[in-house]
Structure 1
Amino acid sequence: MGASSSSEQKASPEQREAESAAAAAGALPMLRKAFADLADPRTSAVPVASLQRCLSLRCDKPISSATRVPPDSFSGLLENVGASIVDVFFVAEKGGLSWVEFVKGYVKCCGRMAVSMVVSNLLRVFALAANKAGHQVDLQFESDEADCKVGGHLVPTDVLMLLWMCWTMLWSSKVHKLPRGKAALFLPDISCLVLSAVVSCADNGSSLNLWNFDIFGSEVQLPAGKFVAWALATVPTLPECYSQFIHEHLGNCSISQQDELEPSNSSSGDITSVETSGAHLLTPGRAWAISLTARNALREEILTHCFFSNCDKIEENLLYRSSLHGKGLNRFWSNTEGYLGPLLMLVSGYSGDSHEANTRDKKWVIGVLLQQGLESRDHFYGSPGNLYAVDPIFHAYLPSGKEKNFIYSHLHPSARVYEPHPKPVGLGFGGTIGNERIFIDEDFARITLRHHAVDKTHQPGPLFPNQGYLATDAFILEVEVWGLGGTKAKEAQASVKKREQLFTEQRRKVDLKTFASWEDSPEKMMMDMMNDPNSVRREDR
């Protein structure tokens, strides 16, 4: 205690300020341990090379699900990430990084600051790493301060490499949690995010043919300022990939050094991604895009579909798939009833003539994120949820706060009763009854998408490219529902299904002891009278 108090009294104002900022970010204990692991005992400073190795991205040649492999410069970009972070944020002296400069560098990277400043830091690291790898990026920064303005522009290939770099950072921060042999880097198809940035930032973005857009061959310029605005509005948690990467790597620097001494055991054959087989609508790339819009526990639950080592466990979260369980509202209901946790519903479809091949090629995917389970009601209900345009272009439509018409799920009533004004049977999201923004019929054959003007519940925007003002009646190709409530929600649903099955079996059984003898029953007397109504009957005395 005495030594600690003495050291605190000797601390300079600069050190106290840096430690206070690190403590506000909740990272001071981690930084003390990291500094002790990385520092050279002879100089009491962290060698620059050691810090660069700690923050490096080490991986084998990445596997891509895109139509074309990543540029050759992408691997070089990943190799220079650690050196670029150190060059931008850490000021080293002759003997290395002192404790004060080590803490100040972390605060510049991951301290409490505006999200726009974190995006600027991310762009600064990306530009420096890309230029070192031979991929020239046209970005200019007014000064070395974090809140400086960013000038220049990006092209679609730059955006793709930047997003893949963020994906790799997130993968690297989670790879130490995976078993050995499961660490091969897989780059998902994130073209929907790239096209979203292109449409939002380019001058003629709305007139582009998104179904035939060549990301690698396009030279469309995206102003850096507009790109920052797009990132803040569309993927607000993207900077967390960068800050989480630095925090996790510094916190596990001793493990990183040990792994560097051991031979790599990663293998591409161990990755059994659902995207490589095209089995599901919820691919890792789409799951990551949706997770970048969430800020609560749902984000981690969605990320399990991106980074996993057990595909069977992921398959357990699939509650319903129309091609597997059968189309129709009854089949859908039998698989989702009783699940009271959050749900993610994806619908793939196409509009136009079902016999025209060119319309079937222009498929799109939309999504709905629900905070609670489904109930059979003849009116709107539910807690705040999001609508998504998922593919070919991604965009999230959050609650507007004006209305609360989130979910409409109405089945045929079990008892036949007269309804003078029957309510439509099907699933609806947003809008009003009979004028929903999204409505799926009871056969799961067609879906109706209406203009955002009818929906005051969610933010405005198109659900698929070139959506007009008139309602679009489209064909459904596939419907998926994923449970995001974890193990407890799945166990609760299994308990409900088991109870319903027990009640069904009990209703099928007939206990003959509860009935009287047939000879004494009123039904036999009535049948006898119908057969021979003139027969003389004597009353038993």
Structure 2
Amino acid sequence: MGASSSTEQVSPEQREAESLAASTGALTLLEKAFSIISDPVTKTVSIESLKECFKLSIDYSNCEAPFKPESFPGLLNHLGPSILDHFFIPDKDGLNWISFLNGYTKCCGRMPTSNSLNNLLKVFGTAVVKSGATTGLQVESSDAENKINGYLLPADLLMLLWMCWVMSWSSRNPQLFNVTFGLPDVNNLVLSAVTSSAEGGAELNVWDDGILGSDRQMPVGKLHVWVLKTVPNLPECLVQFVHSRLSNCVSQQDVLQPSSSSTGDSHSLSQSNHYLLTPGRAWSVSLTLRSTMRDEILKTCFTPDVDEVKENLLYRSSLHGKGLSRFWSNVEGYNGPILVLISATSEDHSWSIGALTHQGFENKDAFYGTSGSLYAISPVFNHLTSSGKENNFVYSHLHATGYEAKPKPVGIAFGGSMGNERIFMDEDFSKLTVRHHAYDKTYQSGALFPNQGYLPTEAQVLEVEVWGLGGEKVKEAQNRFLKREQLFTEQRRTVDLKTFSNWEDSPEKMMMDMVSNPNAVRREER
């Protein structure tokens, strides 16, 4: 093991390296991994052992996206060696304990997100060069200041996102090595970065399929801003991949033996693509979340069992029926985070938006909620968090049971104010109204679909989906609630025939008596 015994003298350099590794919470894991993959005589790890540890052999047989860069398979083959080149640099005898710790901390230690993004870009740029392709990134030979310059093209960014997707997939399925699976459509993220980072991107026609193959340059500096604002969890994909591979060394000591088994299609993208929440869209949303909600939504991305994916689906208009009443019968009692997706069409273009609430829906005639986010889902992805100025996060109001002098709007809304909602969907789930962010002080400014103007836009609703992100316990609590409600409903509908077993007391006899002699005086028995 790399750690020294109590009788050995620990150098200040080793003590510092172990302290930094301990701050990540992975020191025990690193000790076990080092003892497994290191040579017991030299107490060093060979570069070949680490290459096998980070080896990634993946074949993708299908792809959602219509645009597929040809150099992507070669890039994946050089991902592991590129990680070693930047973090785990051995001397002539191999990688000793201190170098092993420093390599892990350099990649997975606590650091600003911008530094983590630089690490990711360096690995990507090196992998591209090793694969024989070209890139506009300029990776510095000395990383004393941890800087990187240059630019990415839309096709480069697509490959970077797919590389991060594969690392995330591998992190959640570390026991699988040689597998075949599909790649998601993340063009909404690429278009989001192009419109935000490329020169003249704001004026681009996002409905043009040629943008992905264009030579529009996205400078690294502007790309940094886009990642930090829109997908801040993207650099974590590299950290999770390195950590999971070392963890797998501990859980499976035969990891260094080449795997001859090949799993079938471990995740068929076609199984979940008929939902609005496709794997690519679910992954896009997950890159904005930093809680248990992220794990729940990632089930849609990486879980091969379709039934497990459907467990989080609370409502789908094409399945359960359109309308607020059908919606309410499926989401009532779910007291946890909820993601609502709406697909709509206007001016001959279809687009999708979303809203994330951190609490369940309530039948109220006023806005409520404590936090939430709005999303432009497709064709361009955008994430609008809370502005902190107002708390008009959610509005969900059914028809009142009694008389209302001034009836409130019936429907679902997010942001804005009564009568000027940022997003409003009517009770029939047929019409969607989206207003400019100037009407809304609850959520941040930004467009929810391409070419959104200042005037309100009315669109036709195509599909509505509601996904619960609260986990198993929240879902189980809702199931108990729905069972109780069903039991109460059945009890109210049940007629006690014993009450009407006596003809003299039956309603039928009373009605017949009234018809035969309506003027008869009936005294109440006392």
TM-score range, shorter chain: over 0.9
C-alpha deviation, 1:519, in angstroms:
4.1
Taking a change above 3 Å as real, the CA distance of residues 532 and 526 of structure 1, as seen in their structure-2 partners, is same
Q: Is the 8 A contact 2:20 2:105 kept in 1?
A: yes
Residue in structure 1 matching 2:249, options 238, 253, 262: 253
1:324 Cα deviation from its structure 2 partner: 1.1
Counterpart residue identity of residue 225, structure 2: A
Distance 1:29 1:59 in 2: 30
Structure 1 residue 23: Cα displacement = 0.8
Q: CA–CA distance in 2 between the matches of 1:6 and 1:35?
A: 20
The one-letter code sitting in structure 1 at the alignment partner of 2:402 is R
1:284 match: 279
Identify which range, 247-256 or 422-431, moves more after superposition.
247-256
Distance (whole Å) between structure 2 residues aligned to residue 117 and residue 536 of structure 1:
92
Residue in 1 aligned with 2:361?
374
Query: CA separation in 1, counterparts of 2:491 and 2:505?
Result: 27
Q: 1:94 aligns with which of 82, 92, 95?
A: 92
Q: Give the match for residue 416 of structure 1.
A: 402
Measured at CA, do residues 170 and 528 of structure 1 come closer, stay the same or move farther in structure 2, by a change above 3 Å? closer
Question: Cα RMSD (Å) of the superposition?
Answer: 2.6
**Range that drifts further, 511-520 or 310-319:** 511-520
The one of 315, 329, 336 equivalent to 1:341 is: 336
Residue 389 of structure 1 aligns to which amino acid in structure 2? A
Task: Give the superposition deviation at 1:489.
Answer: 1.9
1:60-110, CA deviations, whole angstroms, 9 ceiling, x for partnerless residues? 345321114341x21111111111111112231111111111111111111
Query: What is the match of residue 301 of structure 1?
Result: 296
Q: Within the alignment, does 1:45 sit opposite 2:44 as a pair?
A: yes
Preserved contact between residue 69 and residue 155 of structure 2 (Cα < 8 Å): no
Aligned to 1:264: 261
| Superposition pairs of residues 11-410 of structure 1, within 5 angstroms | 11-61=10-60, 63-71=62-70, 73-142=71-140, 144-145=142-143, 147-176=145-174, 183-253=179-249, 255=252, 257-258=254-255, 260-268=257-265, 270-273=266-269, 275=270, 278-352=273-347, 359=348, 362-410=349-397
Secondary structure of 2:59's partner? coil
Output the CA distance in 1 between the equivalents of 2:81 and 2:106.
16
Give the residue type in structure 2 aligned to 1:500: E
Cα distance in 1, alignment partners of residues 122 and 430 from structure 2: 49
CA contact (8 A) 1:108 1:146 kept: no
Decide whether the 8 Å contact of 1:54 with 1:256 is kept in 2.
no
Deviation at 1:4, TM superposition (A): 2.4
Change beyond 3 A, Cα 1:38–1:448: same
**Displacement after TM superposition at 1:258 (Å):** 3.3
Q: Which residue of 2 aligns with 1:441?
A: 426
Which residue is equivalent to 1:471? 456
Shift of residue 135, structure 1, vs aligned partner: 1.5
**Residue pairs, 1:515-534, within 5 angstroms:** 519=504, 528=513, 531-532=516-517
State the AA in 2 paired with 1:446. K
Aligned pairs, how many?
522
Equivalent position SS for 2:138? strand
Q: Distance in 2 between matches of 1:345 and 1:367?
A: 5
**Separation in 1, partners of 2:392, 2:208:** 36
- SS of the equivalent of 1:135 reads coil
The alignment's TM-score, normalised by the length of structure 2, stands at 0.93
CA contact (8 A) 1:44 1:98 kept: yes
Which stretch of the first structure deviates more once superposed, 59-68 or 299-308? 59-68
Q: Give the letter aligned to residue 262 of structure 2.
A: N
1:225-249 per-residue CA deviation (whole Å, 9 max, x = no partner) reads: 1111111111111111100100111
CA shift for structure 1 position 260:
3.9
Counterparts of 1:177 and 1:37, CA distance in 2: 17
Sequence identity percentage = 56
Q: Using the alignment, how far apart are the partners of 2:234 and 2:31 within structure 1?
A: 27
Equivalent AA in structure 2 for residue 384 of structure 1 = S
Q: Distance in 2 between matches of 1:532 and 1:28?
A: 94
Letter of the aligned partner of 1:235 in structure 2? V
Return closer, same or farther for 1:215/1:531 CA change in 2, 3 Å cut-off. same
* Structure 2 unmatched runs, 5+: none
AA aligned opposite 2:120: L
Q: Is the 8 A contact 2:362 2:396 kept in 1?
A: yes
Q: 1:366 deviation in Å?
A: 0.4
- Does the 8 A contact of 1:120 with 1:147 survive in 2? no
Letter in 2 for 1:63: N
Amino acid at match of 2:156: D
Aligned to 1:494: 479
Alpha-carbon separation, structure 2, partners of 1:58 and 1:320 = 38
Q: Match of 1:504, as an amino acid?
A: T
Q: Is the 8 A contact 1:54 1:250 kept in 2?
A: yes
CA distance in 2, matches of 1:111, 1:535: 92
Shift of 1:185: 3.3
Q: Is 2:181–2:268's contact at 8 Å kept on the other side of the alignment? A: no
Q: For 1:500, what is the secondary structure of its paired residue?
A: helix
Gaps of 5+ in 1: 353-358
Task: Decide whether the 8 Å contact of 1:344 with 1:368 is kept in 2.
Answer: yes
Q: Which amino acid aligns with 1:50?
A: S
CA distance in 2, matches of 1:537, 1:88: 98
Which stretch shows the higher mean deviation, 280-289 or 56-65?
56-65
Quote the Cα distance in structure 2 between the aligned partners of 1:535 and 1:28: 94
Q: Secondary structure at the match of 2:114?
A: helix
TM-score (norm 1): 0.91
Among residues 424, 438, 451, which one is paired with 1:453 in the alignment? 438
* 1:320–1:332 contact (8 Å) kept in structure 2: yes
C-alpha distance 536-375 of structure 1, shift in aligned 2 (>3 A): closer
**Secondary structure of the structure 1 residue equivalent to 2:170:** helix
Give distance in 2, aligned partners of 1:311 and 1:390. Answer: 22
How far, CA to CA, are the matches of 2:524 and 2:322 in structure 1?
A: 61
Deviates more, 1:280-289 or 1:213-222: 213-222
Distance 1:220 1:539 in 2: 90
State whether residues 248 and 255 of structure 2, in contact with CA within 8 Å, keep that contact through their aligned partners in structure 1.
no
